[in-house]
Structure 1
Amino acid sequence: MSELQDFQKLVIANASEVRGLKVGEKAPDFKLPNALGKEVLLSEELKKGIVVIKFYRGEWCPICNLDLREIQMKLPEIKSLGASLLAISPQNPDSALTAKEKNELDFEVLSDANQEVIKAYNLQFDPGEDYHNRRDLSLLNGNGSITLPVPATFIINKDGIVEAAHVEANYTERMRASEVLEALHKLNK
């Protein structure tokens, strides 16, 4: 097994206890700054319709960028199904702006620099000493912390209830855009 595979296994093992919110649970409300520093409230977004939330590790993460680009390609269909999309990372608004521009995203990219929302959604974990020896998260995260969110996707109905959830310790596995659309189609029946 390669050194990279060993490293990935350690990170995944350190995230294995993270469960996130479950289907049927109430999604905690939040207010976070977007890439331009404007506050976005989940409760206000829910008044407009269903909200899809993607938690990602940061604009430095190539897998996160691929995931955000994939969902961006399906944004018109997501909107046509009455849903909006929010992406949240532990980075500061400047990094959110970088992610938004680098990936040409037309949805809100929010900064949870203090990881309060990440904690409220039960996604925070410490990737471990080996990880810290390879990447200094304190330089990447908005508040200088060394924790990350497990990448996750939640689909939240207008009442604030989680209708679909994908929380996976293996950060290479994400809820595909096709799965998001499938869940939205079911909610619209």
Structure 2
Amino acid sequence: MSLIGPQLNAVFDRFSKNAPDAIKTPINSSRAELATFDTSQAIKIGDRIPEFKLKDAVGKEQDSTALRASGPLVITFYRGEWCPFCNIALSGFQKHLDDFKAKGVTVVALTPELPNGTLTMTEKHELQFPVLTDPHNEYARKLGIVWKQPESLRPVFDNFKHNLPKRNGDDSFELPLPATLLVDKDGIVRNLYLNPDYIKRVEPQTVLAWIDAL
């Protein structure tokens, strides 16, 4: 069984051991701040999702109603192609994509990154499910899962040459929490993973078990 948890932990362990304090300190401080994110206003199990029409990596519009027409929908949010934890999480969904398809489930990923970034993500990780741009986190905001990063992280992004304003098309410095939702054909959230700690992600096998429980 291929789990993403050990891969996520390995990346963070390397960061903890090797990153200079000028990088590590603001990142760890921001994670501590993010841990206090108020999820009370976020989407919940039993809620109906707002519908969306968002463009994929090649500019084709994808409609949530159409995506649900043939069965349940898994929506997973990621911060950007620059985030190693997101890369591991989406690669995990890709590895199990045949299992999702066998259950009649469509998987889509949403990000504030512009199509140039989503195309890079799709190609680099050989993703065979739609990767959609959520401009200015407008859809994530409707779900109550948008976080404004502290200004102390800007030098960190500059150090890694991750130009977030260019990647996302705005300078809001906001990101979605990497939530994963299982939505039934009627648009109702039937299960949900929402953890402000972006190092922790739901296992694709867990989401497959959600589907079995529908």
What TM-score do you get using the length of structure 2 for normalisation?
0.82
Residue 166 of structure 2 aligns to which amino acid in structure 1? L
Q: CA deviation at 1:48?
A: 1.4
Kept in 2: contact 1:92–1:142 (CA 8 A): yes
Unpaired stretches in structure 1, ≥5 consecutive residues: none
Measured in 2, the distance between the counterparts of 1:38 and 1:140 equals 19
Residue 93 of structure 2 aligns to which amino acid in structure 1? I
The equivalent position to 2:191 in structure 1, one of 164, 169, 180, is 164
Residue 9 of structure 1 aligns to which amino acid in structure 2? N
> Does structure 1 residue 74 correspond to structure 2 residue 96?
yes
Deviations 1:20-76 (A, max 9, x none): 311001111000000000000111111111000010000111110010001100000
Aligned to 1:28: 50
Identity rate of aligned residues, in percent? 34
Residue 165 of structure 1 aligns to which amino acid in structure 2? L
Aligned to 2:206: 179
Kept in 1: contact 2:27–2:153 (CA 8 A): no
Residue 179 of structure 1 aligns to which amino acid in structure 2? T
The equivalent position to 2:32 in structure 1, one of 2, 13, 16, is 13
**Which deviates further from its counterpart, 109-118 or 142-151?**
142-151
> Does structure 1 residue 61 correspond to structure 2 residue 83?
yes
> Does structure 1 residue 118 correspond to structure 2 residue 140?
yes
Paired residues in the alignment total 187
Structure of greater Rg: 2
Measured in 1, the distance between the counterparts of 2:32 and 2:54 equals 30
> Does structure 1 residue 92 correspond to structure 2 residue 114?
yes
Residue 68 of structure 1 aligns to which amino acid in structure 2? L
> Does structure 1 residue 154 correspond to structure 2 residue 181?
yes
Residue 45 of structure 1 aligns to which amino acid in structure 2? L
SS, match of residue 154 in structure 1: strand
Residue 175 of structure 1 aligns to which amino acid in structure 2? V
Measured in 2, the distance between the counterparts of 1:170 and 1:8 equals 12
The equivalent position to 2:169 in structure 1, one of 132, 135, 142, is 142
> Does structure 1 residue 46 correspond to structure 2 residue 65?
no
